[in-house]
Structure 1
Amino acid sequence: MIPLATEGNSTQRASVNSVHDTGWTGAAGDLSTFRQEFYRCVTARADAVFELVDAVLCADGPVRSLPELSLVGEHRRGHGSVYAALDRGRIDIVRLRRAVTAAPLPRAADGRLVLAVDITSWLRPEAHTCPQRMLCHTYGRAKDSHLMIPGWPYSMVCALESGRSSWTAPLDAIRLAPGDDAATVTAAQLRTVVTDLIDAGHWRPGDPDIWVVTDAGYDSPRLAFLLADLPVAVLGRMRSDRVLRRAAPPRVPGVNGRPPRHGGEFVFGDPATWGEPDVATDTETRLYGPATARSWNRLHPRLTHRSSWVAATGTLPVIEGTVIRLDVARLPSGAIPKPVWLWHSVIDLDAGMVDLLWQAFLRRFDIEHTFRMLKQTLGWAGPKLRDPAAADRWTWLLLAAYTQLRLARGLTSDLRHPWEKPTAPQRLTPARVRRGFRHLRTKTACPAGAPKPSRPGPGRPPGHRNQQPAPRYDVHIKTASNRQASKSAAPRPRRRA
C-alpha cells in the first residue's frame, strides 16, 4: 500500500485504511483504489476538493457554475468552500499523474499504446486581471475564418482506443506560459508521461513502441529527435506545401569536395518529384469508400539554423522517416476530400504497418470528443478564476473526474432518456456513464470526512469600497516558438522545406 500523506487532515486520512480493501475485483476495485489514491494526492483541503469532484460527477446536467455544485446532494459543504478548495487547496500533481497513468489504459488493435497530443484553450477574452494570458488560435464561424482570442492554452496527452469511440484516457495537462517553446514543452511532457507508463508496467522491454500521434501544428521530426532515447515512434501530419529530401546518394569515386548530406527534393505539391512509392495499399472503408495509401521510405526535412533549431551547435541531424499519402473517395460531411500527408519516424515499413498507421491517425480525432466533454459537460472553461494556479488545479480535478468515469464505464447501467436509443453497456458514452455514477458512488470508497460547523467571516463592511483593486495584465502576443526575425522585402516562397 502507498503510505498515507502526513500533511493536513491526518485523522480523516488514517480512516482510509478501513475501506481500502473492500473485496471488489476488476473494474470496481480499480475505481475504489483510484478514489482513495486521489484523496491522498490532495495535501490541503482534501475533503472539500474530493467532494467538489464528486459533485461534478453526480450533478444533473452540465456544470454551469461552481456555486451551483454546492446544491448537489453529494456536496455537504457551503458554496464558499467550492472556491476556497480551488484557491487554497493543494494537489500533488506528480503523484496524481502517476495514479492516472497507473490505471488500466486502452490499447490499439495490435496491443500497443497510442498517445495523442493536442492543445486546447481556456478562453478568457475579458479577464483583464488574469495574468499569463496568451492569444489562442480558434476557428471562426465563417469558412476558413481564424480568430486569436486571449486565454490559457493547455497541452494535453491522451491514450487512444481502437475502433470508433468517444472515449480516450487523459494522462497529463500542462498550461503553456508566455515565452514557452511549444515543441520543447510537449517533448518534456511526453517524456514524463512515457516514463510514468514504463514505471507503471504498461510497457516492458520487448513490447511494441509507443506511438505518439500529432497534428500538422507540431514539428514531428523535432519531437522524434527529442524523444529518440525512449521507446517512442512519432506519427504526425504534415502540411501539403512541405518539401522533404531523399537520402544522400553514394559518393562517386574520384570526385573531390564535401560529400552531399541530402538527396533530391520530394515536393508534396509536385507529383513529378515523387517517383514510384515503396508501398501501396488499397482498403475499402465504410465511411470513406476506397482508401489508397502510398508510402515513400527514407525522407527527411532539410534543417537550418532557424526557428526551433536556432540554438543548435555543430552539424544539424538528418532525421529520416517514412512519408505516407492517404487518399479517400469521399467524406461523411459531403465535402471534397483532400489528401492527407503523414510522416512516421520509423523506416522500412511493410504494407500492413502502413495501413495500421493511417488508421491510428484517424483515431487521433477522438481527442476532440474528450475536449468537448470537458468543456460542455464537466464545465472546464466555465469558472471565472483569476489565478492561473487555481485554473491548473481545476484542470487536474476534471482529469481525475474523467478517469473515474472511464473506470466506471462497465459498472453503470444505461439511464437513457425516453427519446434516446438503447445502447450496449460497452458502448456507453462518457455523458451517459456520468448519469449512473451517483448510484455507483455509494458502493465505492468515499474517504472524505463530514464538514465541521463553522461561521462565515464578517466580510467587507457595508458602504466601504475595495481599497486594493486587482492589478491588470496585458495579453502576451507571441511565444518563443513563433518569434520571427524582421521581415525582408523579398517575397515569401510558397514551398516550405
Structure 2
Amino acid sequence: MTSVHDRCPVDALGELTGFRREFYECLTARADAVFELAEAVLCSDGPVRSLVELSLVGEHRRGHGSVYAALDRGRLDVGRLRRALSTVTLPRAADGRLVLAVDVTCWLRPDAHTSPERILCHTYGRGKDQHIMIPGWPYSFVVALETGRSSWTAPLDALRLAPGDDLAVVTAVQLRDVVGRLMAAGQWRAGDADILIVADAGYDGPRLAWLLRDLPVQILARMRSDRVLRRPAPARVAGTNGRPPRHGREFIFGDPGSWGVPDVSTTTDTRLYGQATAAAWDRLHPRLTRRAAWAEAADLPVIEGTVIRLEVDRLPSGAIPKPVWLWWSQVDATAAEVDRMWQAFLRRFDIEHTFRLLKQTLGWTCPKIRSPQAADRWTWLILAVYTQLRLARPLAADLRRPWEKPASPQCLSPARVRRGFRHLRAKTPSPAQAPKPSRPGPGRPPGRRNNQPATRHDVHTATGLTTAKTPAKKPGGKKSANPRPRRTG
C-alpha cells in the first residue's frame, strides 16, 4: 500500500490542495482570519512564541487584532474536520494494518485563574525532578503511527477532558468514533487486519478491550510491574461439590517463581537496544472485583490476553533498562506476532515527538487563552497545520542549515518540512480573501477602570480522571520498602 512519502509529487500536491480547501470550508465564522492564522503558523521562520508575533508574518495580511478575534469569535465545524483528517492518506504497518496510539498531554495554565474547567495535571521533571500537579487542560490525542525510524504521526482526533471524566470511558468513546470514521472513509474494509491500538500504562488495557469488544480492534497496553494476573481456571474434577473456580493460579509480575515456562520466547538483535528478548504467556486475565469501574456490572467478565515481557541490553539514553510488561488482547500468539507487538509498542513513543513539536515549534500551548472553547479551536488549527506539513512531505526541499547533515525527502523531520513550506504555499491556491479596509475600535477610554472583572474559577481535582501515573508525594511521606502488588483489576 502506498505510504505518504512514496506518492508522486502531482498526487501529493493535489491532496494537499484538497485538504487546504476542505479545511477552509470547515471554518464557518471568520474563516479568512482563522485560515491566515494557520498560514502564519506554517510559514513562520522560527518557533511560535506568541500570537501577536504571527501577525507580523508576511502571509498574514490582517492586523494583530484579527488574531485574537479569530480565536474568540471564530467558528469551526469540528465534525467535518475530523472526517477530513480520516480521509487523507494514512501511514500503515508493514502488514498493511492501521496502528493507532492514544495518549493524554496537558496544556498547563497555572496562573489562569479566570479560565474555567482547569484540572490538576500530572507533571514530572519540574523543580527537583518531582511529581507535581499543575492546573491545566488535559487533551486526549489519537494518532496513526508509522513504521521505521521516523518521528511522524498522523493526528486523527483531539478531545479536551472535562472535570470528572473517566479516562477509560472517554477514551473508549473517542476511539469508537475514530474507528467509525475510518471505516466510513474506506481506510478499513471487511477482511482487513484488525486495527491495533497502542496505549501506555496510564490506561487499563483489559477494560479498554472489553469496552471496544464489538469493533475490529486489538488493544496493546503496557502494564505496571506490580500487577498480578490470573491463569485460566483449572478443569473441574468429577464429583467435586461447590461452585467451580473462575480463576487459576496467580501470575505475579514481580515474582519469577510464579511465571513458569513461557509459551513463546524470541530473541532479536536491534541497532538501538542491542539484544531484545521477549517472553510471552498465553491466556492471562485480571481478577475483577465489584468496585470502581465494575461496581455496576451484571456479571464480571474474564478478559483473557497475552502477556509479553520485553527485556533489552541497553537504552539510547544510557540509563539502566528495566523490563517492560505488555498486555495484548489476543490469545494463542505466535513468535512472529510477539515480535510484531513489542516493535509496535516501541513506535508508540513517536507520539511524544509529536507533542514536543506541537508545543515547542508550532506553539500549541503558548497563547494565553482564557476560554476553553477558544483553546479547542486553536488545538484543531494546530492539528490542521501539522496535517498540511505531513501531506507536503513528498514535496519539500531540504533547506538545511550549514551545520546540518543532508537528508532525503523521506527522512525530513516535520520542522525541516515547515522550513520550506513558504515555497510550497505559492503552488497551492489560497481560498482566503483579501482583507477589507477597516478601522480599529475605540476601546476603553484612557484612565477608566474596568468595571466588569472576569469571573475567577476554582481548579478541579482529577477525580474520575483515572490514570496509573504516580501522584504527588505527601509532605513527610515515605515510600514503602515492600509495596503490595495489585491483585485486582
TM-score bracket, normalised by the shorter chain, equals over 0.9
Q: Which one of 481, 492, 496 corresponds to residue 486 of structure 2?
A: 496
1:101 aligns to 2:86 (yes or no): yes
Corresponding residue to 2:353 among 369, 375, 383: 369
**SS of alignment partner, residue 98 of structure 1:** helix
Tell me the residue number matched to 2:197: 212
1:4 aligned residue: none
Aligned pair partner of 2:278 in 286, 293, 307: 293
Counterpart residue type for residue 284 of structure 2: L
Aligned with residue 438 of structure 1, among 422, 428, 436: 422
Could you list the per-position Cα deviations for residues 193-228 of structure 1 after superposition, in whole angstroms to 9, with x for gaps in the alignment? 111111111111111110000000100001100111
Segments ≥4 residues shifted beyond 4 Å: 141-144
Give the residue type in structure 2 aligned to 1:111: G
Distance in 2 between residues matched to 1:453 and 1:479, nearest whole Å: 50
TM-score (norm. length: structure 1): 0.92
Match of 1:465 in 2: 449
After TM superposition, give the deviation of residue 307 of structure 1 in Å.
Answer: 2.1
Greater mean alpha carbon deviation, residues 194-203 or residues 133-142: 133-142
Deviations 1:311-355 (A, max 9, x none): 32x211110000000011111222111000000000001000000
The 10-residue stretch of structure 1 (191-200 or 144-153) with the greater mean CA deviation from structure 2: 144-153
| 2:384 aligned with 1:384 | no
Tell me the amino acid that sits aligned with residue 398 of structure 1: I
- Is this contact kept in 1: 2:22–2:84, CA < 8 A? yes
Which of 413, 420, 424 matches 2:397?
413
AA aligned opposite 1:136? C
Out of 37, 62, 73, the residue aligned to residue 88 of structure 1 is 73
Q: Which aligned pairs between 1:117-128 and structure 2 lie closer than 5 A? A: 117-128=102-113
CA distance in 2, matches of 1:135, 1:234: 28
**Cα distance in structure 2, aligned partners of 1:108 and 1:188:** 24
Matches within 5 A, 1:297-446: 297-312=282-297, 314-446=298-430
Gaps of 5+ in 2: 1-8, 468-479
Write out aligned runs for 1:134-173 (5 A). 134-141=119-126, 145-173=130-158
* 2:156 counterpart letter in structure 1: L
CA distance in 1, matches of 2:333, 2:68: 53
Taking structure 2 as the reference length, what is the TM-score of the superposition? Answer: 0.94
Q: Which amino acid aligns with 1:415?
A: L
The residue type paired with residue 332 of structure 2 is: D
In 2, Cα distance between equivalents of 1:289 and 1:200: 40
**1:109 Cα offset (Å):** 1.3
Structure 1: stretches of 5+ with no match in the other structure: 1-23, 484-490
Give 1:141 deviation, angstroms: 4.4
Which AA in structure 2 matches 1:494? R
Residue 142 of structure 1 and its aligned partner are, at CA, apart by 6.6
Aligned to 1:19: none
* Matching residue's letter, 2:367: P
- Corresponding residue of 2:32: 47
Conserved in 2, the CA contact under 8 Å of 1:117 and 1:157? yes
- Provide the C-alpha distance between the structure 2 equivalents of 1:482 and 1:187, rounded to a whole number of angstroms: 13
Structure 1 distance, partners of 2:465, 2:345, is 25
Report if aligned partners of 2:139, 2:161 keep a CA contact under 8 Å in 1.
Answer: yes
Do the aligned residues in 1 keep the contact of 2:262 with 2:280 (CA within 8 Å)?
A: yes
* Identical-pair percentage: 74
User: Partner of 1:5 in structure 2?
Assistant: none
Tell me which residue corresponds to 2:215. Answer: 230
Q: CA deviation at 1:143?
A: 7.3
Pair 144,300 (structure 1): closer, same or farther in 2 beyond 3 Å: farther
Letter in 2 for 1:276: V
State how far apart, in whole Å, the 2-side matches of 1:481 and 1:391 are.
20
What amino acid does structure 1 have at the position aligned with 2:485? R
CA RMSD after TM alignment: 1.5
> 1:144 offset after TM fit, Å?
5.8
Measured against aligned partners, the alpha-carbon deviations of 1:141-166 in whole angstroms (never above 9, x if no partner) come to: 47762111110000001100001111
Deviates more, 1:214-223 or 1:325-334: 325-334
How far has the Cα of 1:300 moved from its partner? 0.3
SS of the residue corresponding to residue 462 of structure 1 reads coil
Alpha-carbon distance between aligned partners in 1 of 2:129 and 2:50, rounded to the nearest angstrom: 32
**Cα contact 1:224–1:233 (8 A) shared by 2:** yes
* Structure 2 CA distance for aligned equivalents of residues 162 and 438 of structure 1: 28
The residue aligned with 1:76 is: 61
> Does the CA-based 8 Å contact 1:242-1:267 persist in structure 2?
yes
Matched residues in 1 for 2:187 and 2:174: separation? 17
Contact 1:308 1:481 in 2 (8 A): no
- Partner residue of 2:259 out of 274, 280, 284: 274
Q: What are the within-5 Å matches in structure 2 for residues 187-266 of structure 1?
A: 187-266=172-251
For 1:362 and 1:141, the matched residues in 2 are separated by 26
Asked whether the equivalents of residues 307 and 481 of structure 1 are also in contact (C-alpha less than 8 Å), the reply is no
Query: Within 2, Cα distance between the matches of 1:305 and 1:439?
Result: 60
What residue identity is the alignment partner of 1:463? G
**Structure 1 residues 123 and 360 mapped into 2: Cα distance closer, same or farther (>3 Å)?**
same
Q: Residue type matched to 2:32 in 1?
A: D
CA distance in 2, matches of 1:493, 1:224: 28
Corresponding residue of 2:160: 175
